[in-house]
Structure 1
């Protein structure tokens, strides 16, 4: 069965927000990374002003729940809108489940990133459903995750 978490998007203050959440919930970040740490992608150069922005951070806040987030960067920053700056993140237990959930929930919606293998070792995609809700679907393949801590 898939797990569901909230993914928050910020306009440059993700680290500040997550440090605040961490001060309230406690715990540690299993992962925090910046856009500048991403491997270069052809035709997709990260502007200097975005390199220190958070690409991804996760903070477990209970046994079942992980609060996740990132900053907006590049061309996506112009689409930032407070109040609509979150997604529902589903972590599937298999690639097949990820494809089924992505295909079902994105029907008649707008796919923003098709399901694909990522540089961080996950199978991942994003979309906005037909009701305007933002979703992320992720599958962490154990074999690939051993190669990418």
Structure 2
């Protein structure tokens, strides 16, 4: 059994994939566009045919799936965070700075009782991240 996050970016999925490639070295494994679907999607507004119906990408050993959803521009992420566990403090500093660009620093990176470096941020897409040195 396996649980994988599936993120809906409501029209900004391609931008998000590029951002995660640049910031945390994400590797895109596959992209399926609405125009490539063997079945029409009746709820999709005209002009969104080239948006991403489904994608899969890896960050380290984790696979995350993502989509543009119905491209209605109402992305709301809440009630969860993606925890990025790193081995070196310098890597945590780099990831924190890159992911928080255009977003919000919720808790600066700092030493805690459970980690030599821990911090929280919300990226420019509204995804909450926990940066953690293990």
**Scaled by the length of structure 2, what TM-score is found?**
0.49
Structure showing greater Rg: 2
**Scaled by the length of structure 1, what TM-score is found?**
0.45
Larger helix share, 1 or 2: 1
